[in-house]
A = this chain, B = another copy of it.
Amino acid sequence: MNKNITSQTLSRLPLYFNYLISLPESRKSGHISATAIAEALGLNDVQVRKDLASVSNGGRPKVGYPTSELIGDIGKFLGFANHDGVIVVGMGNFGRAMLENRSFADYGFEVVGGFDCDEKLVGTEINGKPVRNVSELGSFCRERNIQIGIITVPEAAAQEVCNLMTGAGIKYILNFAPVHLSAPAGVAVHNENISLTLAMLARKTDVGDIK
């Protein structure tokens, strides 16, 4: 293993992790070769072999890597073996989906609860996770040192929720409201715009036709 890894390798590791974690259980219990991964992802196999060797010692010539060990090694390297607490604000359908998303655990995230301002929802549970009043957000996050928040409220409330989160010490915000958020220095905000993703996917060809 080589800790002196390049940023190119680093950018590809999540691709491998993502591919491996999505394999059916039957294949996870077996072995997988760098060549097979390269083929599945359309990458150069020499490159993939080198990348994997830099984070895992488990590879054997002609056999490959024990798949689950490789998942563990890449995940550990990327910090996916953490148990980082995450809160979700906005218990509409999207927020509820976030509380039910089982794949967060694969990446070392634990959604510890939801928040809403609707009194009908506060006190209920979604997927075994309690829904609290947004007024409790600050004390909740500070007590538990929560650093990651997901915003799934309507557009008009998103900046206010962002301010609440940063005031509570949250450092990383994933925002699904279709609005540009301002956050203080030291807070990383990722605006996830599903409409834009769809536009880039479905119009790539048209756009590509323009020179």
CB closest chain-B residue, reference A23 = B180
The reply to whether A190 and B197 form a contact with Cβ atoms under 8 Å apart is yes
Q: Which of A65-73, A90-98, A130-138 contacts B (4 or more CB under 8 A)?
A: A90-98
Residue interface bits A130-169, CB-to-B below 8 A is 1, else 0: 0000000000000000011010000100000000000000
CA distance in complex: A192, B40 (Å): 17
Copies in the complex: 2
The reply to whether A194 and B192 form a contact with Cβ atoms under 8 Å apart is yes
Q: Which of A45-53, A115-123, A199-207 contacts B (4 or more CB under 8 A)?
A: A199-207
Residue among A3, A79, A98, A195 with most chain B CB within 10 A: A195
Point out the residue from B5, B109, B199 that lies within 8 Å of A107, measured CB to CB: B199
Q: A79-B199, A190-B197, A192-B194 are in contact. Are A178 and B103 (CB under 8 A)?
A: yes
Interface residues of A in 75-106 (CB under 8 A from B): 78-80, 84, 86, 92-94, 96-98, 100-101, 103-104, 106
CB closest chain-B residue, reference A194 = B101
The reply to whether B4 and A211 form a contact with Cβ atoms under 8 Å apart is yes
Q: Residue A210 at the B interface, CB < 8 A?
A: yes
The reply to whether A103 and B193 form a contact with Cβ atoms under 8 Å apart is yes
Q: Taking the nearest CB of chain B, how far is it from the CB of A20, in angstroms? A: 9
